[in-house]
Structure 1
Amino acid sequence: MKNKVIIFFTRIPTLGKTKTRLESFLNKDLCVKLQTAFIKDIYNNIKDMGIEIIISYSDHGELKVLRDIIGEDICFLKQRGKDLGEKMYNAISFSLKRYNNAVLIGSDLPLINKNDIEIAFKILETKDIVISPTYDGGYYLIGMKDENKDIFNIRYSTSSVFRETIDKITNLQKSFGEGNIQLDIDDKNDFLKLYEILNKDKSISCENTRKLVNEIMEKCDKYE
């Protein structure tokens, strides 16, 4: 059995199915372009870590779209389950049959970096579970050494996702550690915050996202 795997959990960028909470602020086409930029930048940031990667993709859209974005021969795993929690659990369950440690990350996090993931795997050396929060009360990363379906049996798309998951972990008497906090890009305020961060710190490595965000902000008066 191999030691480590990163599960990159993402939607296939598809009109009307991607970044829908941003559609009233941008438009459907820009939402697809934004998600595409996120995927490119996240993958570029993690592909050279020396850790194997599984792309866990949504059940809508054409897989060819995702293959064209990533542009490399890699393991693609279709998401299966009735809700987000079950889909994440199934991806982790699949991975833990082949790897000792699995860390799952989302795709709405263009600011995620290698350090965020390295810290997560470091935590797993001494803890059962690692979980890394987002500023909106959710989490963008969860990792473990043994699968446990109960951890994913919570209400999603709420501001209490992180806290409810911690409660589940605690009730199961599992040890855990918290990783770095990150910005999850879901709505207009998140987008504007992303623009602000990228303008302040030119060293952040997400060139596709940076270019697109700047183009949007420069060309459209309504985003000012």
Structure 2
Amino acid sequence: MKDKVIIFFTRIPTLGKTKTRLESFLNKDLCVKLQTAFIKDIYGNIKDMKIDIIVNYSDHGDLEVLKDIIDREVYFLKQEGKNLGEKMHNAISFALERYNKVVLIGSDIPLLSKNDIKVAFKILDKKEIVISPTHDGGYYLIGMKRENKDIFDIKYSTSSVFIETIEKIKSIGRTYGVGNLQLDIDDKDDFLRLHNILNEEKRNSCKFTRKLVDEIMENGDKDK
């Protein structure tokens, strides 16, 4: 049994299936490019940490597209389940058969830092579960040392996902810790907030996202 692993939970960048809530602001091609930039930046960050990675990918699109973005040597695992909760639980269950500690992250968090991951694993040294919130009331990271199916039995895509998950954790009597807050990019307001943050924090390492966001804002190429 190995010590720890990061599950990178992501869609395959696919026209009309990627960042759809941004399609009213960006065209479909730009949505694909944006998701691709997010994946490149997040993967680049976690790859540098020298921790095993499982890429848990969606069942639509061409896997070769994702393999061209991410190292082909990484373990690719297809998402299985009827809904988001089941898919996350199944991926974590798979990983826990092979690792002592598992942290699952999403792919809409280009500002993710190595410290966000380090904090999560440090919490898992003392707690059974770690969960890291987003500004919109969801979470971008969840980790554990043994499977807990019940905590994924909630309604997703609402502003109460984080709070409801915490309540589920409490109801089954598991210890938990809360990780760093991050920005999840779903809609136009999130995109504009990301642009402002990148302008203010020049040292942020998400180079692919920064380059594309700057190009989009400079060119004004946002029409469908």
Aligned pair 1:141/2:141, yes or no? yes
Provide the rounded CA distance (Å) in 2 between the counterparts of 1:86 and 1:184: 21
Amino acid at match of 1:44: G
String of CA shifts for 1:42-87, please: whole Å, max 9, x gaps.
Answer: 0001101121000000000010000001134110000000000000
- The corresponding residue for 1:116 is 116
- The corresponding residue for 1:13 is 13
Provide the rounded CA distance (Å) in 2 between the counterparts of 1:30 and 1:120: 32
Provide the rounded CA distance (Å) in 2 between the counterparts of 1:98 and 1:31: 35
- The corresponding residue for 2:46 is 46
Provide the rounded CA distance (Å) in 1 between the counterparts of 2:72 and 2:206: 19
Shift of 1:221: 7.0
Contact 2:26–2:222 (CA<8 Å) still a contact in 1?
no
- The corresponding residue for 2:178 is 178
Aligned runs of 1:4-83 on 2, under 5 Å?
4-83=4-83
Contact 2:111–2:204 (CA<8 Å) still a contact in 1?
yes
- The corresponding residue for 1:217 is 217
Provide the rounded CA distance (Å) in 2 between the counterparts of 1:16 and 1:31: 8
Contact 2:216–2:222 (CA<8 Å) still a contact in 1?
no
Shift of 1:163: 0.3
Gaps of 5+ in 1: none
Provide the rounded CA distance (Å) in 2 between the counterparts of 1:69 and 1:221: 24
Provide the rounded CA distance (Å) in 2 between the counterparts of 1:8 and 1:71: 13
Shift of 1:195: 0.2
Change (3 A) 1:69 1:221: closer
Amino acid at match of 1:187: D
Provide the rounded CA distance (Å) in 1 between the counterparts of 2:48 and 2:222: 38
Runs of 4+ that moved beyond 3 A: none
Q: Secondary structure at the match of 2:151?
A: helix
Q: Secondary structure at the match of 2:5?
A: strand
Gaps of 5+ in 2: none
Q: Secondary structure at the match of 1:53?
A: strand
Amino acid at match of 2:7: I
Q: TM-score, normalised by structure 2?
A: 0.98
Shift of 1:222: 6.1
Q: Secondary structure at the match of 2:170?
A: helix
Amino acid at match of 1:218: E
Aligned pair 1:125/2:120, yes or no? no
Q: TM-score, normalised by structure 1?
A: 0.98
- The corresponding residue for 2:168 is 168
Amino acid at match of 1:11: R
Contact 2:111–2:182 (CA<8 Å) still a contact in 1?
yes
String of CA shifts for 1:82-136, please: whole Å, max 9, x gaps.
Answer: 0000000000000000000000000000000100000000000000000000000
Q: Secondary structure at the match of 2:37?
A: helix
Provide the rounded CA distance (Å) in 2 between the counterparts of 1:56 and 1:168: 24
Amino acid at match of 1:23: E
Provide the rounded CA distance (Å) in 1 between the counterparts of 2:45 and 2:125: 22
Contact 2:137–2:160 (CA<8 Å) still a contact in 1?
yes
Change (3 A) 1:84 1:138: same
Q: Percent identity?
A: 74
* Cα root mean square deviation, aligned: 1.0
Contact 2:136–2:159 (CA<8 Å) still a contact in 1?
yes
